[in-house]
């Protein structure tokens, strides 16, 4: 009887964590972003989606396909610069977005003379997958993409990784891996220290719900279903092993991934590094708010490490 009661309590707990698990991890049907005129981030996402869809149609992008090691089929887009170039940027999008949302960053890098690669992360866009990797699974997918791109473009290719929001956390998680010598620099914008910290902030500070035991149960369910826990998916631990020069960018008023995360990541990073906290900027809005300074800051940083 006691064992049955315990199983009953576990079942209740697992069901109780479904809003967290489903909201953060489970793939949702693709929909056009709805705009909330009162929310600047919502307006930006809507405009980025429209611009990205139109830009990608006109970009003459070459479609690339990767069969990941777990069998998941992933889709990416390679856009060659109009001028011959041995520089490549890999742009990585955020949570429940897709490659199109990185189009404005692609334009930035095209003006800097870079070829561009953007992919739909697993469980996003045209890529397969039932569960979102939150950067942790994606870091391994992008290592496979990098191998493909080096074979395609040559061993003398100079590669920059640039991610925003979940994409920012992804490039930092990648930084803790054994990266090929072609990776010259990383630009991280609005990322989080760990999946646990990010979701804890969401639950506790935005929705005012106690994190225990919901977050623990959701993490256990994610481990069972997707193969990773929220605690192990840590950009903070990864940057401690990093040797890749990294530019950290974060909005001062980011209420999604608060600015203390950027400061903590910067302090922990064991690599050449710079930190730019953008005054007044909300989540992932630094480029939107200060486009000229954003371009100049990125270009100046990258010149140090890609000109060699």
Q: Provide mean pLDDT across the span 211-220.
A: 92
Q: How much is the pLDDT for 125?
A: 97
**How far apart are alpha carbons 2 and 97 in whole angstroms?**
45
> Which whole-number Å values give the CA distances from 218 to 167, 233, 235, 266, 270, in the listed order?
22, 14, 19, 28, 31
Q: Provide mean pLDDT across the span 292-299.
A: 99
Q: How much is the pLDDT for 43?
A: 93
**How far apart are alpha carbons 51 and 87 in whole angstroms?**
24
Residue 286 near residue 252, CB atoms below 8 Å? no
- Tokens 């203390």 correspond to 260
Of 199, 173, 198, 195, nearest in space to 186 by CA: 173
> Which whole-number Å values give the CA distances from 101 to 104, 115, 196, 252, in the listed order?
8, 17, 25, 22
Q: How much is the pLDDT for 308?
A: 67
Q: Tell which wins on pLDDT, 11 or 251.
A: 251
Question: What are the structure tokens assigned to 98, written together?
Answer: 């897709």
Asked whether residue 66 carries a pLDDT value surpassing 60, the answer given is yes
Residue 112 near residue 299, CB atoms below 8 Å? yes
Residues 6+ apart with CB under 8 A from 294: 108, 249, 278, 286, 287
pLDDT band at 5 (very low <50, low <70, confident <90, very high): very low
Q: How much is the pLDDT for 4?
A: 46
The DSSP symbol for 203 reads: I
Q: How much is the pLDDT for 30?
A: 79
Of 210, 122, 211, nearest in space to 170 by CA: 122
> Which whole-number Å values give the CA distances from 6 to 13, 124, 211, in the listed order?
11, 37, 21
Q: How much is the pLDDT for 15?
A: 62
Q: How much is the pLDDT for 210?
A: 87
Q: How much is the pLDDT for 243?
A: 98
Q: Which domains does the chain have, with CATH numbers?
A: 32-194+233-306 (3.40.50.1820)
Asked whether residue 14 carries a pLDDT value surpassing 80, the answer given is no
3-state secondary structure of 228: coil
Q: Provide mean pLDDT across the span 146-170.
A: 99
Q: Concatenated DSSP letters for 59-90?
A: TTPEEEEEE-TTS-EEEEEEE--SS--SEEEE
Q: How much is the pLDDT for 284?
A: 98
pTM of the model as a whole? 0.94
Q: Tell which wins on pLDDT, 298 or 17.
A: 298
* Percent of the chain scoring above 70 in pLDDT: 94
Rg of the chain taking only CA atoms, in angstroms: 19
3-state secondary structure of 115: strand
Return the ∠ at Cα 155 (arms to 244 and 236), rounded to 5°: 20
Residue 238 near residue 188, CB atoms below 8 Å? no
Return the ∠ at Cα 72 (arms to 129 and 183), rounded to 5°: 105
**How far apart are alpha carbons 225 and 211 in whole angstroms?**
20
């Amino acid at each position: 009887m006691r064992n049955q009661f315990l199983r009953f309590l576990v079942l209740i707990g697992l069901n109780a964590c479904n809003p967290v698990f489903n909201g953060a991890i489970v793939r949702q049907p693709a929909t056009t972003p709805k705009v909330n005129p009162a929310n600047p981030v919502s307006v930006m996402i809507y405009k980025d989606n429209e611009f990205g869809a139109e830009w990608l149609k006109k970009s003459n992008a070459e479609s690339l396909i990767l069969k990941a090691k777990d069998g998941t089929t992933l889709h990416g887009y390679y856009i060659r610069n109009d001028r011959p170039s041995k520089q490549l940027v890999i742009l990585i999008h955020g949570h429940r977005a897709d490659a199109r949302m990185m189009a404005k960053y692609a334009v930035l890098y095209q003006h800097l003379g870079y070829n561009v690669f953007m992919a739909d992360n697993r469980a996003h866009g045209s890529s397969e997958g039932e569960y979102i990797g939150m950067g942790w699974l994606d870091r391994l997918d992008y290592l496979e993409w990098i191998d493909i791109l080096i074979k395609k473009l040559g061993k003398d290719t100079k590669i920059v990784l640039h991610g925003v929001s979940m994409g920012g956390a992804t490039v930092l998680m990648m930084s803790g891996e054994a990266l090929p010598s072609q990776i010259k620099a990383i630009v991280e914008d609005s990322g989080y220290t760990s999946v646990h910290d990010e979701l804890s902030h969401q639950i506790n500070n935005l929705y005012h719900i106690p994190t225990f035991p919901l977050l623990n149960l959701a993490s256990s369910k994610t481990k069972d279903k997707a193969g990773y826990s929220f605690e192990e998916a840590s950009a903070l631990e990864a940057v401690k092993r990093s040797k890749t020069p990294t530019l950290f960018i974060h909005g001062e008023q980011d209420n999604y991934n608060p600015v203390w995360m950027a400061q903590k990541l910067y302090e922990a990073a064991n690599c050449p590094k710079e930190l730019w906290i953008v005054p007044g900027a909300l989540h992932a809005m630094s480029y939107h708010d200060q486009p000229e300074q954003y371009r100049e800051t990125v270009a100046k940083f990258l010149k140090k490490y890609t000109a060699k």
